[in-house]
């Protein structure tokens, strides 16, 4: 097995062109020198590793899962790297599907768990790789548009973004192969890029978001070479498909580190690229809009830590609330529209502009609009309408949003919002949600109206008898 591992690591004699941070000779850390145990690896991942290995292919756990296992964290998923092509992987697993256009991947499906298997990536110095008929294509700014160039494990390590992600767990002998001193960086708490940071950011601007996310998640500081180019290159995020940025936003703000990520993203001018509608609100940290953003992420982090349910719909409703208010005011002044119509038009405008940057699926944008609409309904609800609101599917989210508004309101709006929040709080304390136990003066029977109705019925009955 050791001989197999050594053959997999053979390199060209000339190491002069190796990227910065890549070791001339990788470090092999034996099983008794690292903390990773097979009992910490999911059973589906082990099945994939062993089947690839027993079929004569190289098979390694790679990247974030190895890093997290070393740090004592529980990985959300387990990624595998191999010298088998996606088509060869599919032949080994009936439960496999091939995905991806930018880089072809194999997904091996075990119920709800998906094991991602990637073929070793190679260099893309030329338009067409000599070993394959696959093409690596870049745009004028250096971003990789297609990257189906396959290579060896050492080339794959050179193509990784951060040194802490260039760690490979070898199922052949249970060792860890460290290509870029990633273990040392984990111990020192420094996040370093493999190769030139500016070049790597241009290849894939999402790496700037990943740098922030890893720094907060792992409690690491960005190396100066990693941090310095970010502010200048932040506008490159505009070239990323909105659907991909939506996935990155979920990773940034729904994993318990939302507030730390928000503050770091603002500092590096990345948040402004993700939410251009909020740029004007970020220059005044003491004002209500900024405080509402901050409180939103703080509340979300608290719910994640307490294992409470969160939804992106609420998050987007809070993030876009102030642009919505600005657009509503503009419509009211220019067209004299009533509040309900102004809100509906403004909501369509604001969401329409935001999805040009971050794609918000309708399963989240529609509930976000409902949360906004319920704010108006909670303000003017009387009588039986109170009952209908209490049983509305989005009432709880709208109520939490009302509390958020009251907590971060401007001095002028704070008292009315607090009073409204107290009203709905007391109402829930005295009401079984879903029952019809709430009555107000408007719900009390009108005896006069009842008698008039009775007379009409008798008159109609008399006429019918005649």
Residues annotated catalytic, as ranges: 77, 79, 161
In contact, 182 and 165? CB cutoff 8 Å = yes
Query: In angstroms, rounded to a whole number, what is the distance separating the alpha carbons of residues 456 and 345?
Result: 45
- H or E stretch covering 462: helix 447-465
CA 87 to CA 92: how far, in whole Å?
9
Nearest to 7 by CA among 81, 76, 83: 83
Q: For 295-338, give the DSSP string.
A: HHHHHHHHHHHTT----HHHHHHHHTHHHHHHHHHHHHHHH---
Indicate the burial class of 46 (C-beta count within 10 angstroms; 0-12, 13-18, 19 or more): middle
Cα first-last separation, the chain:
106
Report how far residue 175's alpha carbon sits from residue 30's, in angstroms, rounded to the nearest whole number: 5
Q: Where are the alpha helices (DSSP H) in 190-229?
A: 197-203, 206-217, 224-227
Tokens of 116: 């991602």
What gap in Å lies between CA 316 and CA 305, rounded to an integer? 20
DSSP conformation class of 189:
T
- Residues 72-80: contacts with CB within 8 Å, 24+ apart? 72/35, 74/40, 77/113, 77/114, 77/115, 77/116, 78/41, 78/42, 78/44, 78/45, 78/115, 79/115, 79/116, 79/117, 79/118, 80/45, 80/48, 80/49, 80/52, 80/115, 80/116, 80/117, 80/118
CA 103 to CA 121: how far, in whole Å? 9
Token readout for 328 is 């509503």
The DSSP-derived string for 109-133 is EETTEEEEEEEPB---SSSB-TT-S
Residue 121 CB: number of other CB atoms within 10 A? Answer: 22
Degrees to nearest 5, angle at CA 273 with 271 and 274:
65
User: Partners of 162 in the beta sheet?
Assistant: 193
DSSP bridge pairs for 27: 178
């Amino acid at each position: 097995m050791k001989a197999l591992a050594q053959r997999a690591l053979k390199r060209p004699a000339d190491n002069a062109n190796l990227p910065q941070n890549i070791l001339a000779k990788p470090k092999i850390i034996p099983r008794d020198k690292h903390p990773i145990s097979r009992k910490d690896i999911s059973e589906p991942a082990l099945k994939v590793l062993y089947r690839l290995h027993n079929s004569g292919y190289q098979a390694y756990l790679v990247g974030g899962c190895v890093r997290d296992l070393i740090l004592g964290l529980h990985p959300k998923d387990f990624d595998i790297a191999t010298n088998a092509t996606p088509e060869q992987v599919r032949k080994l697993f009936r439960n496999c599907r091939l995905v991806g256009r930018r880089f072809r991947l194999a997904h091996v499906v075990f119920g709800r768990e998906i094991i991602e298997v990637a073929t070793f990536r190679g260099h893309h110095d030329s338009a067409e790789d000599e070993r394959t008929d696959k093409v690596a294509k870049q745009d004028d700014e250096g971003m990789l548009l297609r990257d189906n160039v396959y290579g060896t494990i050492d080339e794959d390590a050179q193509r990784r973004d951060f040194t802490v992600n260039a760690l490979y767990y070898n199922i052949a002998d249970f060792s860890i192969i460290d290509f870029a001193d990633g273990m040392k960086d984990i111990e020192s708490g420094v996040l370093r890029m493999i190769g030139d940071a500016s070049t790597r950011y241009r290849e894939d601007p999402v790496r700037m978001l990943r740098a922030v996310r890893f720094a907060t998640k792992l409690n690491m500081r960005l190396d100066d070479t990693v941090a310095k180019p970010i502010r200048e290159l932040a506008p490159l995020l505009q070239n990323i498909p909105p659907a991909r940025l939506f996935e990155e936003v979920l990773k940034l703000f729904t994993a318990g580190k939302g507030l730390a990520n928000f503050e770091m993203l603002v500092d590096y001018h990345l948040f402004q690229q993700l939410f251009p509608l909020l740029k004007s609100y970020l220059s005044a940290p003491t004002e209500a809009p900024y405080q509402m953003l901050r409180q939103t992420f703080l509340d979300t982090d608290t719910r994640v830590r307490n294992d409470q349910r969160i939804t992106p719909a609420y998050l987007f409703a809070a993030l876009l609330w102030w642009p919505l208010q600005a657009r509503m005011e503009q419509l009211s002044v220019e067209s004299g529209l009533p509040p309900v119509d102004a809100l509906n038009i403004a909501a369509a405008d604001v969401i329409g502009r935001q999805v040009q940057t971050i794609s918000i699926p309708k399963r989240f944008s529609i509930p976000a609009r409902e949360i906004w609409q319920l704010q108006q309904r909670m303000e003017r609800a009387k009588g039986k309408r109170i009952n209908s609101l209490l049983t509305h599917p989005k009432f709880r989210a709208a109520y939490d949003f009302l509390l958020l508004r009251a907590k971060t309101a401007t001095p002028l709006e704070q008292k009315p919002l607090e009073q409204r929040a107290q009203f709905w709080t007391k109402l829930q304390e005295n009401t079984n949600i879903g029952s019809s136990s709430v009555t107000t003066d408007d719900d009390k029977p009108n005896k006069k109206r009842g008698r008039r109705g009775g007379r009409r019925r008798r008159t109609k009955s008399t006429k019918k008898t005649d």
